[in-house]
Structure 1
């Protein structure tokens, strides 16, 4: 499987904006998205997208729909994704309803990937990148606490993440090293501004 294999079957141009959340492991993307989505519940103009991932649901991290590779292939054949890609040995799919929401002028927020962002921007013309960061020591401490990788593997992961940072110039960069409330308010304000523009 190639490391990156973006594919799209988006049916029509999108008038809404897609907000793609980027950042290295340990930056707190999922925690931040949970904080913001809990405060925007009930607003039908904003869709927090639930991805399909070929990873067991009990593996931790983001809430996602877990597919086997065979199930993922079947969903692709049936046109159930509006965008998909592969990275780090896993495959990711964005559901068709995201494209429908954007076509209706809504705002969609998705946990994305730096490697797939350029292709996302080609498909979803109004895609904007928000990079969630944290200082290296904070990232290292969070990754060590997960106990999924050795110290050497974590150092290598952090080096790769630093190199990837230069590949995308985000529309907004949020430092999530400190207060979750502060970082959450910054992201919520950005989304509110994007939503106001679309209305």
Structure 2
């Protein structure tokens, strides 16, 4: 099922003047996307020209490996109606929002990094004129091992899910692929290098 996606029309004019770059990090479950984003955020801590987005999500604050703002569905809906999000969408029973304040960071020429989803990249592209996709992935064997280690699915379920999923980003996007099949240190260096190159643009 395709996630529901909403763009706040009130933010369209803000994107027109943006000079900074929006980098959206995507990848399949088990690729280590959240871990790499946390490491990159630590690397760039204190840099005023680099901004990591704290998403608004309708899930518990201590759930997952992502620092996010937890809100109820009613509060999320109210925020959405008030124009609080640059982009918002629904997937897997949860609602996600990218705060509208990111447009202020982009207007200053800063690099903004957000955790995203491959299924809604067309909406990010429609909202942000300068967009970079960072696709974090890994070999299917590595993904299967990590997913089974979570203990939520059987090996058969994991393998069926991986067979159905694509490890690539479909569409006409500017994409940097990062293979996190090896050491975490190598993948950390790779994502930092991609972000450093974007800062120099």
Fold shared per TM-score above 0.5: yes
In the alignment, structure 1 segments of 5+ residues that lack a partner are none
- Equivalent positions of 1:55-94 (< 5 A) are 55-94=59-98
Give the SS at the match of 1:25.
coil
Deviations 1:82-131, CA, capped at 9 Å, x for gaps? 11111222211011221111121111001111111011011101111110
Give the SS at the match of 2:25.
strand
The match for 1:28 is 32
The match for 2:157 is 153
Distance (whole Å) between structure 2 residues aligned to residue 2 and residue 24 of structure 1: 16
Instruction: Return 2-11 or 178-187, whichever deviates more.
Output: 2-11
- Equivalent positions of 1:184-195 (< 5 A) are 184-195=188-199
The match for 2:6 is 6
Distance (whole Å) between structure 2 residues aligned to residue 40 and residue 84 of structure 1: 26
Deviations 1:135-188, CA, capped at 9 Å, x for gaps? 1111111111222333343223323322x6352455210100111111111111
Distance (whole Å) between structure 2 residues aligned to residue 124 and residue 110 of structure 1: 12
Distance (whole Å) between structure 2 residues aligned to residue 77 and residue 181 of structure 1: 42
Higher helix residue share: 1
Distance (whole Å) between structure 2 residues aligned to residue 120 and residue 166 of structure 1: 14
**Alignment: residue pair count:** 196
| TM-score scaled by length of structure 1 | 0.90
In the alignment, structure 2 segments of 5+ residues that lack a partner are none
Q: Is the 8 A contact 1:131 1:170 kept in 2?
A: no
